[in-house]
Each structure stands twice: as C-alpha cells, then as structure tokens.
Structure 1
Amino acid sequence: MTDRDGRPDARREPELRREHDAVHEWDAAYVLGGLSTDERARFERHLCGCEACTASVADLAGLPAVLRLLPVDDAVAIAEEARVASPAPAPVETRVGAAEPEPDPEESRAGTPAPVADPSRGSRTPARRRPGRPAPRPRASGRPSSPRRRALVGAAAVLAVVLLAGGGYALGSSSGRVAEPTASVTTPTPAVPVAMMSLVGGAVTADLSVTATPWGTRFDWECAYAADLEGTGVYDLVVEEIDGTRTVVATWDSAPGGAAGLAASSKLPLDRLRSVEITAADSTTVLTRTTL
C-alpha cells in the first residue's frame, strides 16, 4: 500500500516487516511447488509488494529445469540422505525436563518450609501459583519446521525424484515399477499453449507454452529439427517486447531426436511481450515464431 505520493505507507511498515520475516524463506518452496494452497496464496500476496522476494524468486526460477538434469539414481541418493539427516524431534520431557514441585499452600500456612529446588536444575526456583489454578503445560523449545525446510528436504529431494524426473521411479518399491503420477499439491497459474509457425522450410518446429508468474513470464517448449540439422547447431529463444526490444532468454545445443523439457524464465511480464522466436545463435534469421 502506498500514500498519495506513491511512496510506501509508513504506517504499514511494521506489518510488512513482520510478514516479510515470516515468509521470506518460502522462495525455494514456492518455485518447487512445496507450499500448500494457503501458503502459496499468502506468499503471492507478499510478492506483490516485496521487491526483494520477487527478485529472489526470479533467481530461483530456473531451479526446476536444473533438477530435471539430475540423474534419477542421484536424486534417489539425495532423497535418502535428506531423510537420514533429518533428526526426529526429541521427546518433550528431554527438552524441557520434569516440572518443578509446587509448594502446598496448606503446608506453607502451617509453617512447613517450601521445597528447595534441586541444585542440579540450576538456581531458578519454581514460581508460586494460586491454589486451584492448574499447572502450566510444558512447551517444546523447538520451532516447527518452516515451509522452506519442508520443501528443501522434501520437495527438492522427493520431487526431484518423483515429479522432476517424470514420475519414473517409485520410492520404496521393491518391484521397481513406475509409480502413477499424482496430482500436484498446489494449483499453479495455468500455462497457455501457443502455436509457433515454422519458417525457413521447416528447419525447426516447436511447441511452446507461456505462463504469467509473479516474477515475470515462464516459457516451456520442445522442438525438433530437420534431419540435416540434428546435432549441428546452437539456438536462441528470443522475446520481442511491444516497443521492439529483443532479448535472448535461453540458448541450447541441438541434439539428435530434438529437444524436450526446455524451460526458461524472464522478468518481463507477459503483457509487455509481442512475440517469441527461435533463431540460430549466430544469426538473426527467424526459424520459428509466434505472436502473443
């Protein structure tokens, strides 16, 4: 929220700071899809007014594409290491100790001395309480795990195996059969498929989808090459803004059989983009193009 001069409303600064402190570590969980529906909605509201968190999410936007390159066996090993390295929470009594004995009001009035605290428990004596008031319940000393911890230990490890590896490995499966894909925990912004027109004699054909995100625009695409071009070139994904500015958002090598699962992100919002093109990296010749 801003004042009439467009500056941040100083009255809301403490509230915004508290919210930032509470959710600023959710960036990786958000990118990996490790937040619950409510957490995701809360974080997206925060992104609308926080440049630091928006920049952090933009920096992490390529993480899912990187994890797709992780071999399944390595991902399984990481998941197992994360599971073993995550200690189980200690029992409450081992963290807070047994409750100190409370003095009996009747005994105190009769002249019976109040019990002395055990020296091994430190010099602090137990607080007196009114008769009839129940003793306070001991509280655990540790904080609950944050969504980022859940995501990095759970999502980055397990999702890297199950989701980002295409659901092709079943954790804990003795038969090694492929697990059925499951629905995502969160509901991401729908990707919009767009048709790309192949130019230059069909040298490159491509299928593209674009997704508007809080940090800009995400692109997912796959492409195939003419037989005489397979494995021989380097290509750029280029976006053109409404004002004519052109920006390369991705570069990749061709490979036999085409390329699938390609992904990239840009800080440019979708409504500022006019077109998306694939060109040869050493040329301005447009091989395939679509207008947004």
Structure 2
Amino acid sequence: MGVRPGCGAGRARGHRSFAAALRTARVAPRTAGERGDRAVKSYREWDAAYVLGSLSEDERREYEAHMETCESCKAQVAELSGIPAILSILPQEQAVQLLDPPKQDTMPALLAAARKSRRWTRVKIAAAVVAAAAAAAVLTAVLVPTDAPPPPEAAGLTTQLTQTIPSPVTASVTLVEEPWGTRIDVKCEYGGASGGRALPYTLYIVDANGAATRVGSWNAGPGTSMTPTATTDLPRNQIMRIEIRLATNDRTLLEARF
C-alpha cells in the first residue's frame, strides 16, 4: 500500500480509521503549488478502503473507473484482495488480544516497519492493523442496517442460493468481475420476529479445483436483512460454487453452483 506514481493528491472520505491512519504517514511531500490544488483527486490511498468495502457507492464506482486507466492502482488492489480472507480466519479472541494492553505507539511502529519491508510484509502488517482496529469484529463484510437505503444494483451475475437444509435464511449473490478478480455482493434475509439471538454466518467460495476458501463472515438474527460484500483475486470463471454456512457447526445452509 505504498505511494504509487500517477495518482494525484487528496483523500478518501468516510469512516475508515485504518485508511486514515496509514494516510498520515505515507503522503509524499508536495510543492506549494500542489498543496494549493485541492481540486485534484487522489486515489493512491483508496486501495485498502476499496478492498475492505469501506468506500461509498459513488467512491467505489469512481475508483473502479480510475483503475481502468491506472495499472498501478489495479495491481495494488489485486495484491490486497486476499486480506479479507486472511482477516476472516482470525478468531475473535485473538483480535481482542491484539488490543491488550493498548499502546499509543503501536501505529507508528507498524508504519515504520511497513515502509522498510517488502510488499507482502506490508500487506500482512496492514491486515494486523485492520484486525486490531476491528477488535471483536471481522472486517470482511459491510453490514447495512435494515433502515438504510439499498445500494444500486451491481452490474454482474445475480443468482438465488438454494437451501441445502431447512432454515429461515434466504440469500442471493451477485458476482461482479473486477480488473483484479471478483467482488461478491450478498443479500441475506432472516425470517422470524426481530429481537432473537444473532448467530454467526460465513461465506465460502469453491474454485475449479474444489478448494473452499472463506471470504466473509457476519452476525445476524431473526427479522434482519444483511448485505455483506467480499472480494477474491479469483476471476469470475474460476468460482464454481458459493456457500453460506452456519459458523457454529460449519454446516452449509445455502449454496449456488455456477
């Protein structure tokens, strides 16, 4: 997530503490003229926020349009696309331990190490920072409350998942081809009266070799609607199956075959 030439000067918007923290240390020095040109857009710090689903819908579309002409940003997003899968396998207890005891100098130390390390080392450090900031949550999905307006329909293949065992859960999935792989937009509906106990769910993709990879997770209870988003570096034609599992016993509740 280092500085990449060819992208202007500015910043992304929204509640993205991780991206904002990294931005502070890595913005390259600019001339007075550059500092004065606040109208110029910057995309060099949007990669992590894009992969983690933290950009707004308008920002996401803007960044995707930018990547069509920027090979540097496209390559960086492809490299970071594996972070959600890394974070999804981090147990909640370990995420909490990352914050105990809290240290104010943790971020500077991580940033200093990131600047000196190789690219893959930077990716692993970024994953640790995101996990620590998430504390007890796994940041592999953007969970939209039921009272929030639905996002615009994505341009991609939308498929209804079928139940493998009876449950109150129904879902559809949209696979969107991206320059770096595939974005997976899920819409889940949970039947029953609201107020019941929330359960943990996981999202898996199965590739052409039959290997299953966990790419997302979320908690939800009866009477709720969730729209998690996950990413993978696999191209669309390499995804053979999508599964939603109950995390407590790893049983597959719904699946879609392609």
User: What is the TM-score when the length of structure 2 is the normalising length?
Assistant: 0.47
The structure with the largest alpha-carbon Rg is 1
TM-score (norm 1): 0.42
